Amino acid sequence: MSITEKIIDFQNKAEKEFENKKNIATLFKYLLAMVTFFSSTIFAAFTLPFRYLFKQLSTKKNHSQIYIGNNKNIDSLLKKEELVLIDFWAEWCGPCIMMNSTIKEFSENSKHIKVIKINADMNMKTLKRFNVRGLPHFLLIKNEKEVKRFAGSMTLNDLNSFCFED
C-alpha cells in the first residue's frame, strides 16, 4: 500500500470510527484525519501551477486506459461501454490528486470496466446532470444507468470492492 493509500485508509477509518463511537480517541483521530484532508487540499492548490507546467512540458506519451470525459462526449462514452466508472475530480482537490495513481492502476488492471475522468471545474453541466456535490465522487454505470455512487477517497481495495461487489 502506497503512502497516499495509507493516508486515505486512515481518513476513511477515522471517519467511520467516529460515526460509530464518539470518545476522545476517535475524536482525536477524526480531527487528525480532517487536518490531513485540508493539508492535502492546500498542497494541491499550491502545486497546481507546477503540475500544470510539468504536464505541458512532459514528452511522455499517455498510454492510459482512462477516457477524458466532458459535457460534449459523456453520452457517447457511456453508450460505447457496458460498464463504466466515472471519476469526478478537480485540480485543486487534494484527495482527488492523491487518488490519481490509484485510478490509473485500477484502469490498467480492470479490463472490463472503463474509467472516465471528468474535471469538475470544466464540466459543471455534467456535474449538475449527475447531481455531484462533493469531490472526489465516483459513479458506477452499467448500460447507461447508475448502479451506485461514492463520495470521497478510496484505496485500491476500496475501489475494487465498490466496483465488483453488489
Provide the Cα torsion 25, 29, 35, 41; round to 10°: -160
Distance CA 158, CA 45 (A): 26
**Could you say which of 8, 86, 96, 132 is catalytic?**
96
DSSP secondary structure letter of residue 121: G
**Nearest residue to 50 via CA among 87, 97, 84:** 97
Beta bridge partners of residue 84, listed in sequence order:
114, 141
**Could you say which of 14, 93, 115, 120 is catalytic?**
93
Whether 163 sits among the annotated catalytic residues: the reply is no
How is residue 87 written as a grid cell? Answer: 471519476
Q: Any idea which residues carry the catalytic annotation?
A: 93, 96
